[in-house]
C-alpha cells in the first residue's frame, strides 16, 4: 500500500512537531474518507522500525474503530507485534503495539506499564463526561513515563459540548500539527464529490426540543417516524436515487429504521437494518453484503456515523435531524470515499440538515461558543439555495442550475459570489494568468504583521493575498501560512517555513514562479483556491528570451 502525498505530509508533520521541541499533545486533522487508519498504521510501523524499543498504545472507546485499526494495521504490516485489550472484543493481550478500549483500561495503568506513545483515533467522539477516563489513564501512564506523548486523529476537531478540541480547560490536546481540507482532497481526486438535493418532503421539527445542544431523541423520533412522511420520502428517493447502487439511510431510532425498511421493501428496494442491538456476527455479514452491493439500502440508527468504510456508498438518505455540525460532517462523509465507477454521492435531506449546517467545506469553527449560540462554536455557514425544478442545492450566486439548466430569476439583493468547494456549495471559480508577483510587509497598528502578496494578472487585475507567518503555531492562519510556503517553495526548502515576515521576504527567491491562479470572489476580495507553477521548460524558455533581448536590443 502506497501512502498518498497528504498522508505522508501528515506523518512528517508529527515528527516535525516533536523534533521542534514541542511538549504538547498534537492533533492530526484529516477528513472522513481520507484514510486515517492507513495513516496511523504507517506511522506506527515507521516508529517501531526506526526506534525498536518504542511501545505504542492506540485508544478509542468505540469497538468498531478498534476493530478497524487492528484490521488495517495487520493488513498493512503482516506479523506486527500487536495486542488487543478490550472486553467488547473479548481480548486482554498487551504487546509492543496495543489497541485498547478506554473502558477496559482506564484504571489499569500499572498493568500496562511503560508506553512511549498513545494515539487516540476519532478523538472528537470523546464525550466530555467520558474524557475523565482518558485524563485519569493518561495521568497515571505519565507517572510511569513522564516523557509520554499523546497524538489525536480526527476529521472534525471540535465537539458538541465544548468547541475546539485543543482549546479550553481540561483539554487533552494542545495544538493542531496538520490539517488538510475536504476541498483540497476533492480537487485532487482523493475524495468523491457530493451532490445535494433538498427534498421537497420535509419533517416538521417545530415541536422538537433541544437539550444539551442536540435534538431530543424521543421528540425527533416522533417528528420523523410518521407513515405519510416515510412514504413521501421513499417516493422521492426512488425519483432521485433509483439508478444508484448503495443507499445509506440514517434514521432516528430502531422503530423508525424498521418502518423505513418496510417501506423500501414495499417499493422493491432490497434493504436491511443495522442497529446497536444487531448481533455482532449478523452486523458483520450485513455490512459485508452492503459493501458487495448485495443490499441496496442499509438503514441504521447511531451505528454507522463513524468508523464505517464503504466506498461504494453513492447515496446518503438523511431521515434524522441533528444540531451537531460534527455529526452532520461525519454522516455525509460516509459517501465521500471514492470507488471505481463512482462519480459522486447524492445527499437527500428530509430533515433540514443541509440548510441548518451549510456545505461541509464552508464550516468555520471559532473558540468557545459560537456567535449564533451553538455549543460547537460554529461561526458561520455557507449560504445555499434550492433549484425549484430538480431540488439541487447550490450557492445563491449561481444563475443557471448546474444539474437541470433551470434559469433562476434575477434577484438584485443577492450579489454574493459563489463559495468554495464541494458540490453542496456549487462554486464558480475563475482562472487568471499571472504576469508578475510582488511581496511586501503589511503592518497595521496593534495588529500582527502579515506578508502581502500582489498577483498582477493578464487582464490587469491585481489579486491580493495575506500570509500570516507570525501568528501563533496553533492558529489556523499560521497553519495556512505553513501550507502556503510548502506548496510554493523549492523542494529542498519546503519544510523550512519562515517564522517572520522579514525572513520570508529575505527568502522570496526560494519560491517557485507562478503561472496562473484559480480564485473566486469572497466578499470584497478574491480568495485563492490553487496556484499553477511554471515548469522548468517554461522557465528556461523565458530565460532564453530574456538573454536574447539583452543581447539584441540591450534590455
Residue with cell 490539517: 179
Evaluate whether residue 278 is within a structural domain: yes
Mean pLDDT for 521-529 is 75
Looking at 235-249, 303-317, 318-332, 382-396, which range is the least confident one?
382-396
pLDDT computed for residue 441 by the predictor:
92
Q: Mark whether 191 and 165 lie in a shared domain.
A: no
Asked if 385 and 424 touch (Cβ cutoff 8 Å), the reply is no
What is the DSSP annotation of 217-259?
Answer: HHHHHHHH--HHHHHHHHHHHHHHHTT-S-EEEE-SSHHHHHH
pLDDT of residue 47 exceeding 70? yes
Asked if 416 and 397 touch (Cβ cutoff 8 Å), the reply is yes
Q: Mark whether 370 and 512 lie in a shared domain.
A: no
How many other C-beta atoms are found inside a 10 Å radius of the C-beta of residue 335? 28
Q: Residue 248 — pLDDT band, cuts 50, 70, 90?
A: very high
SS3 percent helix, strand, coil of the chain, rounded to 5, is 35, 25, 45
pLDDT of residue 83 exceeding 50? yes
Q: Mark whether 440 and 472 lie in a shared domain.
A: yes
377-395 pLDDT tens trace: 443 455 667 777 777 777 6
Q: Mark whether 25 and 158 lie in a shared domain.
A: yes
Q: Mark whether 254 and 386 lie in a shared domain.
A: yes
pLDDT of residue 347 exceeding 80? yes
Mean pLDDT for 471-499 is 79
Cell of 137: 489513564
% of the chain exceeding 90 in pLDDT = 31
Q: Residue 1 — pLDDT band, cuts 50, 70, 90?
A: low
Q: Residue 414 — pLDDT band, cuts 50, 70, 90?
A: very low
pLDDT of residue 135 exceeding 70? yes
> Is 178 exposed, middle or buried, given 0-12, 13-18 or 19+ CB atoms closer than 10 A?
buried
Mean pLDDT for 326-331 is 84
Q: Mark whether 497 and 435 lie in a shared domain.
A: yes
Last residue within a domain, chosen from 180, 195, 211: 180
pLDDT computed for residue 422 by the predictor:
45
Choose among 437, 453, 452: nearest CA to 516.
437
Evaluate whether residue 213 is within a structural domain: yes
Residue 103 vs residues 62, 108, 130, 170, 307: alpha-carbon distances, Å: 10, 10, 9, 19, 18
Evaluate whether residue 513 is within a structural domain: yes
Mean pLDDT for 370-376 is 38
% of the chain exceeding 70 in pLDDT = 83
pLDDT of residue 482 exceeding 60? yes
Mean pLDDT for 92-97 is 93
428-459 pLDDT tens trace: 567 788 888 899 998 888 889 999 999 988 76
Last residue within a domain, chosen from 132, 156, 180: 180
Looking at 87-96, 149-158, 490-499, which range is the least confident one?
490-499
Distance in angstroms (rounded) separating the CA atoms of residues 65 and 40: 12
Residues 6+ apart with CB under 8 A from 358: 381, 382, 383, 384, 424
Q: Which domain range does residue 86 map to?
A: 5-180
pLDDT computed for residue 367 by the predictor:
46
pLDDT of residue 71 exceeding 70? yes
Q: Mark whether 374 and 517 lie in a shared domain.
A: no
Evaluate whether residue 425 is within a structural domain: no
Last residue within a domain, chosen from 180, 198, 225: 180
Q: DSSP assignment, residue 88?
A: T
Q: Mark whether 30 and 172 lie in a shared domain.
A: yes
Evaluate whether residue 421 is within a structural domain: no
Residue with cell 418496510: 262
Evaluate whether residue 526 is within a structural domain: yes
Mean pLDDT for 497-524 is 86
Cell of 128: 466530555
Evaluate whether residue 370 is within a structural domain: yes
Residues 6+ apart with CB under 8 A from 342: 192, 311, 312, 314
Cell of 203: 419533517
pLDDT of residue 543 exceeding 50? yes
pLDDT computed for residue 194 by the predictor:
85
Q: Which residue has the higher pLDDT, 24 or 549?
A: 24
Q: Mark whether 149 and 228 lie in a shared domain.
A: no
Evaluate whether residue 413 is within a structural domain: no
pLDDT computed for residue 379 by the predictor:
39
Task: Work out the widest C-alpha separation in the chain, in whole angstroms.
Answer: 84
Distance in angstroms (rounded) separating the CA atoms of residues 537 and 523: 37
Q: Mark whether 381 and 483 lie in a shared domain.
A: no
Q: Which residue has the higher pLDDT, 403 or 555?
A: 403
pLDDT of residue 234 exceeding 90? yes
Q: Mark whether 20 and 136 lie in a shared domain.
A: yes
159-171 pLDDT tens trace: 655 567 777 666 7
User: For position 151, which CATH number holds?
Assistant: 3.40.50.300
As for how many domains the chain has, the answer is: 3
Q: What is the distance, to the nearest Å, from the Cα of residue 338 to the centroid of all Cα atoms in its chain?
A: 14
pLDDT of residue 101 exceeding 50? yes
Q: Strand 364-365 vs strand 378-380: parallel, antiparallel, or unpaired?
A: antiparallel
Q: Mark whether 164 and 269 lie in a shared domain.
A: no
Amino acid at each position: 500500500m502506497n501512502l498518498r502525498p497528504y498522508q505522508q505530509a501528515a506523518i512528517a508533520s508529527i515528527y516535525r512537531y516533536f523534533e521542534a521541541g514541542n511538549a504538547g499533545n498534537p492533533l492530526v486533522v484529516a477528513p472522513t474518507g481520507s484514510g486515517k487508519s492507513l495513516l496511523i498504521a504507517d506511522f506506527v510501523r515507521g516508529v517501531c522500525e526506526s526506534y525498536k524499543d518504542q511501545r505504542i498504545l492506540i485508544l478509542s472507546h468505540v469497538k468498531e474503530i478498534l476493530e478497524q485499526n487492528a484490521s488495517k494495521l495487520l493488513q498493512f504490516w503482516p506479523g506486527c507485534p500487536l495486542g488487543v485489550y478490550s472486553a467488547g472484543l473479548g481480548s486482554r493481550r498487551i504487546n509492543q503495539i496495543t489497541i485498547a478500549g478506554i473502558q477496559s483500561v482506564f484504571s489499569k495503568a500499572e498493568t500496562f506499564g511503560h508506553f512511549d506513545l498513545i494515539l487516540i483515533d476519532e478523538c472528537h467522539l470523546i464525550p466530555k463526561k467520558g474524557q475523565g477516563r482518558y485524563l485519569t489513564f493518561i495521568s497515571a501512564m505519565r507517572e510511569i513515563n513522564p516523557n509520554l506523548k499523546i497524538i489525536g486523529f480526527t476529521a472534525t476537531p471540535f465537539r458538541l459540548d465544548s468547541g475546539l478540541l485543543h482549546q479550553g480547560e481540561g483539554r487533552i490536546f494542545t495544538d493542531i500539527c496538520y490539517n488538510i481540507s475536504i476541498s483540497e482532497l476533492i480537487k485532487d481526486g482523493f475524495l468523491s464529490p457530493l451532490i445535494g438535493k433538498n427534498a421537497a418532503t420535509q419533517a416538521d421539527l417545530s415541536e422538537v426540543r433541544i437539550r444539551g445542544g442536540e435534538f431530543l431523541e424521543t421528540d425527533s423520533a416522533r417528528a420523523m417516524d410518521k407513515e405519510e412522511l416515510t412514504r413521501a420520502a421513499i417516493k422521492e428517493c426512488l425519483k432521485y436515487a433509483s439508478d444508484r447502487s448503495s443507499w445509506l439511510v440514517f434514521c432516528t431510532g430502531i422503530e423508525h429504521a424498521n418502518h423505513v425498511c418496510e417501506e423500501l421493501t414495499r417499493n422493491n428496494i432490497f434493504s436491511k437494518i443495522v442497529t446497536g442491538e444487531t448481533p455482532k456476527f449478523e452486523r458483520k455479514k450485513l455490512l459485508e453484503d452492503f459493501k458487495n452491493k448485495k443490499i441496496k439500502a442499509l438503514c441504521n440508527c447511531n451505528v454507522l456515523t463513524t468508523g464505517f468504510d464503504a466506498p461504494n456508498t453513492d447515496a446518503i438518505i438523511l431521515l434524522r435531524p441533528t444540531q451537531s455540525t460534527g455529526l452532520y460532517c461525519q454522516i455525509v462523509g460516509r459517501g465521500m470515499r471514492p470507488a471505481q465507477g463512482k462519480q459522486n454521492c447524492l445527499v437527500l435531506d428530509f430533515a433540514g440538515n443541509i440548510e441548518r449546517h451549510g456545505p461541509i467545506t464552508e464550516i468555520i469553527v471559532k473558540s468557545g461558543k459560537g456567535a449564533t449560540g451553538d455549543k460547537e462554536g460554529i461561526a458561520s455557514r455557507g449560504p445555499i439555495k434550492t433549484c425549484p425544478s430538480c431540488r439541487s442545492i447550490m450557492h445563491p450566486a449561481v444563475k443557471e442550475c448546474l444539474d437541470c439548466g433551470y434559469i433562476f430569476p434575477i434577484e438584485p439583493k443577492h450579489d454574493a459570489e459563489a463559495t468554495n468547494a464541494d458540490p453542496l456549495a456549487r462554486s464558480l471559480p475563475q482562472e487568471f494568468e499571472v504576469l508578475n508577483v510582488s511581496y511586501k510587509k503589511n503592518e497595521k497598528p496593534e495588529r500582527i504583521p502579515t506578508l502581502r502578496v500582489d498577483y498582477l494578472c493578464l487582464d490587469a487585475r491585481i489579486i491580493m493575498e495575506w500570509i500570516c507567518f507570525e501568528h501563533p503555531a496553533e492558529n489556523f492562519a499560521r497553519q495556512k501560512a505553513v501550507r502556503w510556503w510548502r506548496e510554493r517553495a523549492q523542494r529542498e526548502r519546503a519544510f523550512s517555513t519562515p517564522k517572520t515576515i522579514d525572513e520570508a521576504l529575505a527568502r522570496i527567491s526560494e519560491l517557485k514562479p507562478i503561472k496562473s491562479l484559480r480564485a473566486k470572489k469572497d466578499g470584497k476580495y478574491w480568495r485563492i483556491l490553487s496556484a499553477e507553477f511554471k515548469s522548468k521548460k517554461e522557465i528556461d524558455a523565458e530565460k532564453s528570451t530574456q538573454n536574447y533581448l539583452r543581447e539584441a536590443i540591450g534590455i
